[in-house]
């Protein structure tokens, strides 16, 4: 397969599914006010982030559903279906009435649609990771797979840009009145565009499992590969917590808890996400020379050492610090992001690769990553100190360290 098509598929892999899924997080303070009104901005933020977390809990079910389709039939069928299933709830969210006009019905509808988005989001990365990994040349797997990882971050970056644009172009009153719907409308139409664009460059892939007996046998083999599952689980737990705290939750933390200007907070987050994408692709290309284990250990060590002093710099309120800190965090996390997709795919056989990636990627994201913003928001609200968020992140570094040490170089 042509290299330019692999790059294109890698970049299109998760971009708009993750845009639709994450734009909620960047509008969370407004959504909390519109759907969970309480008169307390921090309580509204916690409730809205709790729904963000709950939508992650259903992602493992989605990964098993779409992973089974990818392993049992082919990768392309799973990719098409998950993309369409993300588009529908995205459009419906754009039309939702708020609590002020529909009461509990509005809140309930939002919960249902977010769960549907979470289910669909569980299927995209495993299918696209398998597709790119299985078609890339051996010496280029890390590089091309890094585009799959970057596509998720690019989707989150677009969500951040959209939120920043809203706060830049519209007043707070306009955003609350109607402008918050714009990102969801945009996401729906671009999802449909990407669906048809991707059809033109995907090449047919063979049926992975030849019969029912083989499929059932490989299902049991997934659980037999406990070492691979646990290794990927631990590393992805670290990546999920680090990413969601430092690049998704951070703008809300800066605005709600540190009382910084909303536009500045989101510009800071946007810069961090952009640099994370750039550094991820660079380390994906350098992985064969530096070594996967070295990059993973470098990332974990840097996050462990830098988290506390960088949070202190943020609290000083200096405009320079607000834009330097996310770049340093991006450099630290990208070392492991650049090799993660290729590392995951390499742990599992072809016949159960999609399900293996799905479980080991979505379970830690659901348990640790999705809950991280809620946990830290509650802890800071209760204690009045952000040390709890720092300690949480440092504990995840220690959790992932033994797994990283067992990676093949």
Tens digit of pLDDT at every position of the chain (409 positions): 555 666 676 666 677 767 876 788 788 889 999 999 988 888 888 888 888 778 878 888 888 898 888 887 777 778 788 888 888 898 999 999 999 999 999 999 999 999 998 898 887 778 788 888 888 887 788 888 898 888 888 888 888 888 888 888 998 899 999 999 999 998 888 777 777 776 665 555 555 554 555 556 566 666 666 777 888 899 999 999 999 888 878 888 888 888 888 888 888 988 998 999 999 999 999 998 999 899 999 999 999 999 999 999 988 878 889 999 999 999 999 999 999 999 888 888 877 888 888 888 888 888 887 778 778 878 888 887 778 788 889 999 999 999 999 887 6
CA distance 238 to 81: 29
CA distance 66 to 124: 8
Q: Of how many residues is the chain composed?
A: 409
What's the pLDDT score for residue 199? 67
Residue 260, helix vs strand vs coil? coil
CA distance 213 to 309: 55
Task: Answer whether 168's CB lies under 8 Å from 28's CB.
Answer: no
How far apart, in Å, do the first and last CA atoms of the chain sit?
27
* Element spanning 261, H or E: none
List the domains of the chain with CATH numbers.
Answer: 3-405 (1.20.1250.20)
Residue 137: partners with Cβ closer than 8 Å, 6 or more residues away: none
Q: Find how far residue 9's CA is from the centre of its chain.
A: 18
What's the pLDDT score for residue 217? 57
**pTM for the complete prediction?**
0.81
CA distance 121 to 27: 19
CA distance 255 to 263: 9
């Amino acid at each position: 397969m042509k290299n330019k098509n692999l790059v294109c598929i890698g970049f299109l892999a998760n971009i708009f599914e993750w845009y639709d899924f994450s734009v909620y997080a960047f509008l969370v303070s407004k959504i909390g006010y519109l759907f969970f009104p309480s008169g307390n901005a921090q309580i509204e933020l916690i409730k809205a982030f709790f729904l963000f977390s709950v939508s992650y809990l259903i992602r493992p079910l989605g990964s098993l559903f779409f992973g089974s389709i990818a392993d049992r039939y082919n990768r392309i069928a799973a990719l098409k279906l998950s993309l369409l299933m993300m588009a529908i709830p995205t459009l419906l969210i754009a039309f939702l009435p708020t609590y002020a006009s529909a009461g509990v019905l509005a809140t309930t509808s939002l919960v249902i649609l977010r769960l549907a988005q979470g289910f669909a989001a569980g299927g995209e990365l495993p299918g696209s990771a398998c597709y790119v990994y299985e078609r890339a040349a051996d010496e280029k797997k890390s590089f091309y797979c890094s585009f799959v990882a970057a596509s998720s971050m690019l989707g989150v970056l677009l969500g951040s840009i959209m939120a920043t644009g809203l706060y830049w172009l519209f007043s707070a009153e306009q955003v609350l009145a109607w402008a918050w719907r714009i990102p969801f409308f945009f996401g729906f139409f671009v999802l449909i565009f990407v669906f048809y664009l991707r059809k033109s460059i995907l090449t047919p892939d063979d049926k992975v499992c030849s019969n029912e007996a083989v499929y059932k046998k490989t299902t049991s083999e997934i659980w037999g590969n406990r070492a691979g599952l646990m290794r990927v689980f631990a590393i992805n737990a670290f990546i999920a917590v680090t990413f969601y705290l430092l690049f998704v939750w951070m703008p809300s933390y800066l605005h709600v808890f540190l009382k910084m200007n909303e536009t500045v907070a989101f510009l800071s987050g946007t810069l961090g996400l952009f640099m994370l994408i750039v550094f991820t692709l660079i380390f994906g290309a350098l992985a064969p020379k530096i070594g996967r284990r070295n990059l993973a250990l470098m990332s974990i060590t840097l996050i462990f050492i830098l988290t506390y002093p960088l949070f202190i710099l943020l609290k000083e309120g200096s405009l320079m610090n607000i834009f330097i800190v996310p770049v340093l965090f991006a450099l630290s996390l990208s070392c492991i992001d650049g090799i993660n997709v290729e590392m995951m795919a390499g742990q599992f056989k072809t016949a159960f690769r999609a399900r293996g990636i799905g479980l080991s990627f979505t379970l830690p994201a659901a348990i640790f990553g999705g809950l991280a913003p809620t946990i830290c928001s509650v802890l800071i609200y209760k204690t009045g100190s952000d040390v709890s968020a720092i300690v949480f992140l440092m504990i995840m570094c220690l959790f992932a360290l033994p797994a990283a040490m067992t990676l093949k170089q």
